[in-house]
Every structure is written in C-alpha cells, then in structure tokens.
Amino acid sequence: MIGAEARQALVRALGERVRFEVPLGRFTSLRVGGPADALASPASREELARAFEVAGEFGLPVTVLGGGFNTLVLDGGLPGLVLRMNRLRSVEIRQPALVAEAGVSHARAVRSAADAGLAGLEFGVGIPGTVGGWVVMNAGIGEREIRDVLTAAEILRPGARATEWIPAAGLGLGYRAARGLPEGAVVVAARFGLEPGDRERIRRTIRELLDRRAQTQPTRQPSCGSVFKNPPGDFAGRLIEAVGLKGERCGRAEISRLHANFIVTGPGARAAEVLTLIERARERVHAETGVLLEPEVRIVGRPG
C-alpha cells in the first residue's frame, strides 16, 4: 500500500494519469495479475521524470509494465509505482530511419516502416509487444533480432531530469537481454536504421510472416509469447512437447496445443496456474533431458 502523502504527490505530478489499486489483468497479454499499488501512464518525458522523482522521494519501487507482454504479474499484484508507456506513441520517419516512442505497438512500427517504403523491420510483425519492450528484450525471431536494426535508444535514468540517447552498441544487446541498459532506466524511444525498399515486396513479406505465425502460434488466445528461452542448439517448445506436456492444463491455463513454448489462458485464469505450468515444464524437462530451461517471461509481483 502507498501512504497518503505519496498518493498526493503522485496525483500532483500526474493528475488523472495515475490510479490506485488497479487490477492488472486487463493490462497484460496473459489477462492475469493482481492489483498495482499505483498505475501511471505518463503523457510526456517531463511527467515520466516527475513520476521517478516522486518514487525516489518516497522510496517506492518502480516497475515498467509497458504493453504488458512477456510479463507474468503474480496474483498479489505489484508494489509501488507501475508505469505504462502507452501514451508515448509517436512515430517519425527520418529517411532512412524510423524513430518510435516506447509505447508504439509492434504492428504500428512495422506498418509505418512499410508505408514509408523502408525495409528491415518486417520480422518485427511476428513479435508482440511495444518498442520499449523490444529494446529491453532484444526481441527477435530465428536469425533476426532488434539489435540488427536498432541504432540508438532514448532512455531516462532514475533521478534524471532529462533523457539521453545511447548508441545501440552501448546497450549490451544479447539473447533476449539489454545488459548494458543502466539499472532502473526506462526506454523512452528507439531509432531503427532501415533501407529503402519496394513497398509491395515489404508488405508481401509481412503477410507471409503473419500467415506463418498464425499457423504455428496461438495468436488468437491470451499468452505472454514465448515462455522459455531456447537452449543452445535446441528449442524449448520441442523439449516441452517431447516430455509429453503439450496440452497440459492447470485450472484455466494450458500449455498450448499448437506450440508448447506458449502458455494460454481462459477467462478466470489466475497467475498461480500459469506459474504452476512454468515450474512443471522446467522440472519435467530437466528431469528427463538434463536441460534446465531459462524463463524468457518476466515474473514480477507478490504471490497471491
């Protein structure tokens, strides 16, 4: 719980863009999760800086939820201040680059590049989430990752009054990680270096990738995307399927029958059910193959 003084300070800083005791299920792609002590959606860099300032003054932990993808919020909810970046969603074309704020969806970023006749970001259509999450996770599919097209990221450090741009080379981008991102910093925007291309060819590639994704992933059901990172030389989904867990259920959560590295949920599902399936998959795969799967999904919050 957040004390009265901290609440008043957050309201002074953010006005109607901060709310309290907000259930997070509607803001996560898994549709599960307990309440946030405070949920804020800053509308500018200045408001974001003020939110960090209040959090620092009152010792509130800060969690960036972004678009709510790749995240499992536990049933007890999130303490302190939770930030959504959904109001920061401008896109600019600076030929041959695209600059997008952190709250821009994957679909809009890819579509904007295609409409401008810029090639190189097509693979992103298969990666759910928002631009901020893309950078933090160095998101990718197969042989393509965000670091292949990212040239720089705009960030805000806790306690700073202004943002700064960091070259992609300074972000320590590796497999599903940005290890060079300063501790506690939030990604505000990203610049992607693209190449002029044929609009129809770009759009055709996007359609093909969307068709392939629909055939191999449960795109019509709530999920967090890939649950586990692929171990070297293998695939997490293959291992989970090999130990007989495809279709395994716990309450209203299920290891997808279409792709075993996805967990899908139905109405009324709880985070505890998803967590049970994650632990069950890790334990069974480790026991039968010796491979210890590493979660790709970020697990945050208090147990219910």
Q: Cα–Cα distance between 163 and 284 in angstroms, integer?
A: 45
Structure tokens at 15: 């006005």
Give yes or no: 226 in active site: yes
From 17, 176, 282, 284, the catalytic residue: 176
Rounded CA Rg of the chain: 19
Sole residue written with tokens 């999450």: 133
Q: Tell me whether residue 41 is one of the annotated catalytic residues.
A: no
Give the integer Cα–Cα distance in Å for 121 and 115. 12
- 176 an active-site residue? yes
Catalytic-role residue among 226, 248, 254, 273? 226
Domain of 47 in residue numbering reads as 4-83
Q: How many CB atoms lie within 10 A of CB 101?
A: 23
CATH code where residue 27 lies: 3.30.43.10
* 93 burial type by CB count under 10 A (0-12 exposed, 13-18 middle, 19+ buried): middle
| φ/ψ (deg, to 5) at 5 | -65, -40
pTM: 0.94
Name the region of 107 (left: φ>0; alpha: ψ -120 to 50; beta: rest): alpha
Contact 101, 192 (CB under 8 A): no
How many helices (H) and strands (E) the chain has is answered by: 7, 20
Digits of tens for pLDDT over the chain (304 positions)?
A: 899 999 999 999 999 999 999 999 999 999 999 999 999 999 999 999 999 999 999 999 999 998 899 999 999 999 999 999 999 999 999 999 999 999 999 999 999 999 999 999 999 998 889 999 999 999 998 889 999 999 999 999 998 999 999 999 999 999 999 999 999 999 999 999 999 999 999 999 999 999 999 999 999 999 999 999 999 999 999 999 999 999 999 999 999 999 999 999 999 999 999 999 999 999 999 999 999 999 999 999 999 8
Looking at the structure, tell me whether residues 257 and 283 fall in a common domain: yes
255 in the same domain as 176: no
Domains contained in the chain, number = 3
CATH of the domain at 98: 3.30.465.10
